[in-house]
Each structure stands twice: as structure tokens, then as C-alpha cells.
Structure 1
Amino acid sequence: MLRVLGRVTSINVRKVLWALDELGLAYEREDWGLPLRDPKVPEFLALNPNGQVPVVIEGDFVLWESNAVLIYLAEREGGLLPEQLELRALALQWLGWQASELNPPWGYAVNALIRKTPGYDDPARIADSMARWTLKMDILEAALAGANTGYIGAGFSIADIALGLSVHRWMSIAVEKKELPAVADYYERLMSREAGARWMGPETP
């Protein structure tokens, strides 16, 4: 049985769980990650020296980094990635973009407005975080507006799982923000998927 170590409040853990559900794969999940269970203990660090979730274990095979897990599952099961090389590369382009470009700008705003983390209360920094985040969302809006599949590429893929969870965070943040109609349509489409609705619920922003 495949095991997933990580708390469901982690966006990166939910990437993996959503993919597993889309593929119809059975798994067991164990709570790891603060405030539930400290991943900086020797037991966990032996699996992932970064002390971060998720970690996936299957027999003697241990894998960390959520995007690596998504690619592994898609490759192994033969789904959630296009077969044509160019289309596959474009899906992986957006998967990488989600982690490297879309996610970093939201850090301060999410800590301030969703997580309510102490010390994240500077209005100027919140505004700056939202402005930088909006610029990245504008890129996604333009890409989705020009798509004819309803998804970011040739069809639903692991890139849409990652982007969908980021869009869910955008939709969940309680602040005035720019209207992005293509992104809103995309969000509704992803929410119409059973696994999408499960892992983009109101309790997991």
C-alpha cells in the first residue's frame, strides 16, 4: 500500500492526494507537518532530509518533492500527462511555473490573510505581495483565455492539479482582487471534478 506522509492543509500534499484520486489508486495517509507532527525529527529526516511534506513511500521506494511525485505517478500509471512529447513538455512547463513563479509572491499575503500568522501584519507588504501575485495570475489568465481545451494544455493533467490548488488559494483569500474571468471559469471546471471538489474544499485554502 502506498503511504503519503503529510497534513492535508499543505497545498503540496493535496497535489499528490488529488492525483492519486484521479488515478483511482489506493493509499494510506499519515499526518506529518506542524502543528500536527514535527517533521524535523530523526525518523522523518531519514526519509526526507529537508524535513518537508509530502513524502511518498511504496515498499522500499521513498520519494519527496510534490512535483516529482506527480510526474512519477503520471508516468507509472500512464495518465495525467499527454503522450505527445511537445504537449507533455508544455504541461511540465506549467507544472514547474506553478512552483517557481506563481507560488512565491503570495507568501506574505497568505500568511497575513489566510493563516493569520503573527508578525504578518504590515499593510504595505500585504499590498506588495498581492500586486506581485496578481502579475503572475495575469499570465495564467492570458494562457487560459487562449486555450481551447478548458485546461492549461491539451487536456486535464498534473499541471492542472498544481495550478488548480494555487487558483483555489487565490479564490480563498479575503481581499479585494482583480477579476480574472478565464481563471474563474477554470476554477469552476476543476471544482466540477470529484477529486477537485474534495481537495479544494473551504477547509483547505
Structure 2
Amino acid sequence: MKNPPSLDQLISALKVLPGVGPKSAQRMAFHLLQRDKAGAEKLARALDRALSNLMHCQRCNTFSETPLCNLCADTERRQDQLCVVEMPADLLVLEQAQCFEGLYFVLMGRISPMDGIGPHDVNLDKLMDRVLDGVVQEVVIATNFTAEGEVTAHMIAELFKDRGIKVTRIARGMPVGGELEYVDLGTLAQAVYERRGLNK
């Protein structure tokens, strides 16, 4: 027996989520349809609203409902420091650690040649324009300590070599292979405080 086409489409749509395979997607679909129709409707509305209202901040590239996100619009933050992270979740965890007073730039990914993701796919051109605005004096690289994160950090350091911009990397208080989103706040704060220069 075949599933109705609309059920197959729902299962297929749920499989786009990271870590969700065919069986998990099928369980989610059945749960939403059988036991939580209100939750399914809420999810559909929230997803539709997010797709309609969210854009990328013009300065930091994170998700925002306005041309400038609330952090970039905050004149109390240090304008001369720019912390580069891979994803919006990394920005959020740094903010929770309350260890950085500057502004951010979100790459929305990381360089990964094995996955066909190169420098042009992670907004390095936008980062270059942002850093060379005449205000930024230090770039703090806070990419993850994975192989891809290290390649990305190296490429960013090379971009600003001999351009008069100080480039630092958060310290290795972070576990090797670790991702910012899953690190405790104390370790993350220490890593930011003990960042080191890359373009000496």
C-alpha cells in the first residue's frame, strides 16, 4: 500500500532537517497528523511567517526582520571589533556568555572542499567589505575548531594579511572538534578572553 501523495510530500519535507532520516520523518509526520494537529498548524504558520519576514542583516548577515539587526543598531557596542562566526547559533551563544562587546559577522557556513563549499559560498566578499569600512580595527575569528572551521579561519586571516587589521583567533580553551553551540559558557568566555593573533 502506498501513502497518499500529500503524506509522502510531508515526510519528504521533514527529511530536509539535519539528522532526520526517512523513519524519523515518517514518525514525525504521523505524530503531527494523528496526535498534534494544533502543533502542526502552529509549525506551518511559524515557518510561513519566518520565510516571509526574515532577511539577512545588511551589516552582520545574521537573520533579522529589519535591514539592521538589534545588535548592529546598538550604538553602545564597540564598533572597532568584529567577531566572525559560522552560524547565527554561534552568535547567540557568544552573546549568552557576555564575553564580547563588539559587533559580529555571520558567515552562514564554513569552507568545506569535501562538500563543495568554497570561499565564495560563505560570504567572504561581504566580510571583506564589512571589515574594510574604515572603522573595524580587529577581527576576532570564532569559527569552530573542526577541520572546516580551521580552514575557514586560515582563509579569513589571509584575507586581511598586510591590510593593517589586527586578526585574532579565540583560544583553544574550546575542545578540539567542538562546536560553539555545545560548549559551556565559562569555557567559551575564557576562549574569547585568551584569543591570539594570527597575522603577526
| TM-score w.r.t. length of structure 2 | 0.25
Question: Quick check: which has more Rg, 1 or 2?
Answer: 2
Higher relative contact order (CA 8 A, sep 6+): 1
TM-score by length of structure 1 reads 0.25
